[in-house]
Amino acid sequence: MLKIENLSVYYGYVRALKEISLEAREGEITCLLGANGAGKSTTLQTISSLVKARSGSIKFRGVEIGGHDSAKIVDLGITQCPEGRQLFPSLSVQDNLVIGAYKVKNRSEALENRSTVYELFPILSERRRQLAGTLSGGEQQMLAIGRALMASPSLLMLDEPSLGLAPKITEQIFDLLIKLNKEKNLTILLVEQNANAALKISTEAYILETGSIALHGSSESLAKNDLVREKYLGA
């Protein structure tokens, strides 16, 4: 569904990504692992067109999308739940969701998406009038995911959804991702530091090291790989 080939990204003179290639296949959960500063977030930001690539190609359903502006990427059905939630803190929970559907032209579709999100996260429905900045960390993460679902995406990208959350909440979030993937057939590209959990729910995995893909394979095989176990799974 999403195919990246030889993508290079620079911040000034600093190279953040060096000719990486990866693929997120339709209907699957693909995960992208790596240490801090490996280039995981840069990859997602480049897909969302917040950062411009120096060279390489990004294809979505076979069509080149590198160079499109961020609004066009959302139109195509690619949304991102960014690292650290990045909510609109002084807007209500409901307004955060409404703005998530900014590009949805059809009113009834937007309303339908909203009730779906409230079904997935009943706590958000209870707190719909509350300002987003006053939610707990876990609730904020739910809202961030909900907001990314509001634009009816076909590819959802998540940047470290487990960051700073208690293990129990992390588990809930990951269960939800499985549910979205299975029941709504949503394709997911997941960036994580929590390699254990990410390898469990994904089918394919890529490991980034200082801007290059160091390893790639089925999640099952990577979970058994000695190098991965030592470096990322702490076993």
Partner 1 sequence: MTNFIQQILLGLRDGSLFSLVALGIVLIFKTTGVVNFAYGNMGMFSVYIAYTFLIYAQVPLWLSALIAILFAFFLGVAVERGLLRQVRNMSHSAMLILTLGILMILEGLSLQIWQQDYRNFPNMVGGARIINFLDGRIILRNQDILVFVVAAVIMLGLFAYLKFTKVGLAIRATSQNERSAKLMGIKVGLIFAVSWGIGTALSSVAAILAAPRTLVHPNMMLSLQIHGLTAAILGGFESLPGTVLGGLLLGIVEQLVANYISDELRLAIALVIILVLLMVKPSGLLGGKSVERV
Ramachandran quadrant class, 89 (left: phi over 0; alpha: psi -120 to 50; beta: rest): alpha
Q: Which of 5, 19, 95, 209 binds partner 1 (CB under 8 A)?
A: 95
Residue 55, CB half-sphere, CA atoms under 13 Å: how many?
4
Of 75 and 220, the one with the shorter C-beta distance to partner 1 is 75
Of 86 and 218, the one with the shorter C-beta distance to partner 1 is 86
Tell whether residue 113 is a contact of partner 1 (CB under 8 A). no
CA angle 156, 196, 192 (to 5 degrees): 35
Q: Which of 134, 185, 218, 221 binds partner 1 (CB under 8 A)?
A: 134
From 5-13, 27-35, 77-85, 180-188, span contacting partner 1 (CB under 8 A): 77-85
CB of 231 to partner 1, least distance (A): 30
Tell whether residue 67 is a contact of partner 1 (CB under 8 A). no
Number of residues that bind partner 1 (CB under 8 A): 32
Sign of the CA dihedral with 20 first, then 41, 178, and 162 last: positive
- Identify any residues that bridge with 47 across adjacent strands, giving them in sequence order: none
Contacts of 110 (CB under 8 A, 6+ apart): 98, 101, 104, 150
From 16-24, 35-43, 83-91, 171-179, span contacting partner 1 (CB under 8 A): 83-91
Site for partner 1 in 140-159 (CB under 8 A): 140, 147-148, 151
Tell whether residue 65 is a contact of partner 1 (CB under 8 A). no
Site for partner 1 in 13-52 (CB under 8 A): 48, 50
Q: How many residues does the chain have?
A: 235
Of 71 and 227, the one with the shorter C-beta distance to partner 1 is 71
Q: What is the spatial distance between Cα 183 and Cα 19, in angstroms, rounded to a whole number?
A: 34
Of 45 and 170, the one with the shorter C-beta distance to partner 1 is 45
From 131-139, 193-201, 207-215, 217-225, span contacting partner 1 (CB under 8 A): 131-139
| Integer angstrom CA distances of residue 136 from 2, 69, 83, 132, 166 | 33, 32, 16, 9, 11
Q: Are 157 and 79 in contact (CB under 8 A)?
A: yes
Q: What is the spatial distance between Cα 5 and Cα 127, in angstroms, rounded to a whole number?
A: 43
Contacting residues toward partner 1, per CB under 8 A? 48, 50, 69-71, 73-75, 79-80, 82, 86-91, 95, 98-100, 102-103, 131, 133-136, 140, 147-148, 151
